[in-house]
Amino acid sequence: MSRALWHFALSLFLAFSLSAEEGPPLQLNLDELPADLVEEVVVPLPDEVFRSLDKLGKQNWHSQLIGKRLEDLSLVQSRGETALLLGMVVANGFVAVQAKDSEEVHLTGQQVLRLAEVLGVKESVLPHCQIILESARNEGWDEVRRELDRAQKSVRDSMKELRDENLAQLVSLGGWIKGTQAVAGLLLQEYQADDSEILNQPELCEYLSDTFYAMPPDLRQGEVFGKVEQGLEVLQPLLRTNADGVIEEASLEIIQSETTNVVESLLKS
């Protein structure tokens, strides 16, 4: 074999070996995935599921807003309940952005600030709330959405700094409950089996449930957390598509009812 041909053959071999070595596997064996390899479950922003829903043409967002009752939020709840409520109010802010409702966004910004103050993390959200209030006036929806995300992250980071990781988890849980309620409500307004798949989230529900039960029992005491426990238990088997790839209308009704129970108990407490 000539020298040039040898080099050509060698470079071809190397190219194929490298691509074979570096190419990702086409299939993950999920049954053999070591548990310690799996780092985290990402809890999505309410905005992510809302966008998906938007593309399906479900746009009656006003119907899912908390509304004027935001003005009457109680600030005498436990820290755990307040964290849950804060997550719920932020999620309501994302609904308000979808609805392009300046007044609701304004109320949301004010309440996020009040609740953050109760939790001792006001300073971290103040700049974000100021932008939310200003952007609501100017109908700068992208800015409001960005600052809601930042406000929630700042609250969670501050809580972690204060070693209140559990409270940070409750903020996420509160947001997820409100988001799930809004999505179930919209899907039910004109039920279409194909669209129901958007609430297929068994692993996420299991993760949130495991996280919740890992919290100290004294943090999750009281009527509101009783509703949360009941809700998580009922929701787990329902937030999963059936063999036809859909969630039945009757299941959606229960999902909406259970999440509404939690939202209502938070608003009343």
Partner 1 sequence: MKPFLVVSALTVALLWPGSLAQAMVHDGRSYAIEEAIPKLEQRRNPYILREQWWFGDLEKRGRKVIRHQLYRGNDYWFWVGASEPSDRLSVHIYDPQGRLVDAESYRKEQVAAARVEAEVTGSYYVVIQALHVSQSTLGWAMLYGYR
Please report, as ranges, the residues that interact with partner 1 according to CB under 8 A: 22, 24-30, 33, 37-45, 47-49, 51-52, 55-56, 127-128, 142, 145-146, 149-150, 152-154, 156, 197-204, 207, 245
Distance CA 243, CA 6 (A): 56
Taken as a whole, the chain contains a residue count of: 269
Shortest Cβ distance from residue 23 to partner 1 (Å)?
10
Please identify, using beta-carbon distances, which residue of 212 and 225 lies nearer to partner 1. 212
Please identify, using beta-carbon distances, which residue of 20 and 37 lies nearer to partner 1. 37
Shortest Cβ distance from residue 51 to partner 1 (Å)?
6
Could you identify the residue written with the tokens 């068994």? 202
Shortest Cβ distance from residue 154 to partner 1 (Å)?
8
Please identify, using beta-carbon distances, which residue of 21 and 72 lies nearer to partner 1. 21
Shortest Cβ distance from residue 49 to partner 1 (Å)?
5
Dihedral sign (CA 30, 32, 34, 37): negative
Could you identify the residue written with the tokens 């995935």? 33
CB burial of residue 244 (10 Å; 0-12, 13-18, 19+): exposed
Going by C-beta distance under 8 Å and a sequence separation of 6 or more, which residues neighbour residue 209?
232, 233, 236
DSSP state of 108: H
Please identify, using beta-carbon distances, which residue of 152 and 259 lies nearer to partner 1. 152
Please identify, using beta-carbon distances, which residue of 3 and 55 lies nearer to partner 1. 55
Q: What is the dihedral of CA 164, 166, 169, 171, to 10 degrees?
A: -60
Please identify, using beta-carbon distances, which residue of 23 and 217 lies nearer to partner 1. 23
Residue 149: HSE in the Cβ half-sphere, 13 Å Cα cutoff:
13
3-state secondary structure at position 95: helix
Shortest Cβ distance from residue 150 to partner 1 (Å)?
5
Shortest Cβ distance from residue 101 to partner 1 (Å)?
19
Exposed e or buried b per residue across 53-69, where buried means at least 16 C-beta atoms within 10 angstroms of its C-beta: beeeebeebeebbbeee
Shortest Cβ distance from residue 125 to partner 1 (Å)?
11
Please identify, using beta-carbon distances, which residue of 40 and 218 lies nearer to partner 1. 40
Q: What's the first-to-final CA gap in the chain, in angstroms? A: 85
Q: Which two tokens stand for residue 133?
A: 């209030």
3-state secondary structure at position 216: coil
Please identify, using beta-carbon distances, which residue of 206 and 264 lies nearer to partner 1. 206
Shortest Cβ distance from residue 27 to partner 1 (Å)?
6
